[in-house]
Structure 1
Amino acid sequence: MSDDAIATLGVRSSRRRRELEKAVDAILAGIPPLKLKDQIETLQSRKAGLTALLADVPEDVPNLLPSAAAVYACA
């Protein structure tokens, strides 16, 4: 998985977390929870999927430039 894809997943996961927090805040502000139930369940499902994808990403993968081999070949 590319660095861009990993970053995108991280952003999406953070966005889902914030949306869930907003839903909880709405409930605390007085909006009936049943109105938000489907939305909260959808957000929780998406967040769980993104978290699972991010958990499978190895952390020790070196970041190499695609042209690095050509640079060192000329040296």
Structure 2
Amino acid sequence: MIRVLVWLAVAALSGCDARPRTVAGFAAAPEEARAVVAECEGGRRRVDCDAARAGLAEARRRDRMAAYDRAF
């Protein structure tokens, strides 16, 4: 019985281990970064707001550099 309770506790806690995303992760998925930034600006507190903003800026920078490369 105790083993079952321990396994249930471990399973429940392992599902709660949501780590905040990184700048590189948000730069690779700018749509998700936009959604997180919108939530942050709407007042929702998240631990990855700064990373989402920086990732969105990096994605925009990459888009500008790609456009620059195509132009020349």
What TM-score does the superposition give when structure 1 sets the normalisation length? 0.38
Query: TM-score under structure 2 normalisation?
Result: 0.39
Greater relative contact order structure (CA < 8 Å, 6+ sep) = 1
